[in-house]
Amino acid sequence: MISLGNALKQMRMKDERKRFVPFAIEFVSCDESKKTGGELVRYDKVTLPQRERVELETSQRAKPADVHRKTSLLFQVGPETFRQCDIWLITKFNGENVI
């Protein structure tokens, strides 16, 4: 098991070449505007785009009452392909259950 906070920290890790380390993520889909979701979605070997690092760091410095304002996570699944999920709907990170 891994806490959500530790999973978010590990997502920001970089290798010796200063590139984000790929990770696996599983989450429950949810699209409130289309009223769809509830399916498990899994991606292997995804990374954060460079600008997401700044957004995650900003949300980590936020006051506890402000955390709900930054709940979406943007990650890159291919050279020009991005996906988004709500951090509270992440179920697994690198094969570990998220609590």
Question: pLDDT at position 76, please?
Answer: 80
Instruction: Please give the Cα distance from 67 to 10 (Å, whole number).
Output: 18
How far is C-alpha 88 from the chain's CA centre? 9
**Boundaries of domain holding 54:** 4-97
Task: Name the DSSP letter for residue 89.
Answer: G
Question: pLDDT at position 58, please?
Answer: 46
Structural domains of the chain, count:
1
pLDDT along the chain (99 residues), means of 10: 93 90 93 88 88 49 46 79 90 96
> DSSP per residue over 50-81, as a string?
HHHHHHHHHHHHS-GGGGGG--EEEEEEETTE
The answer, as to whether pTM is greater than 0.85, is no
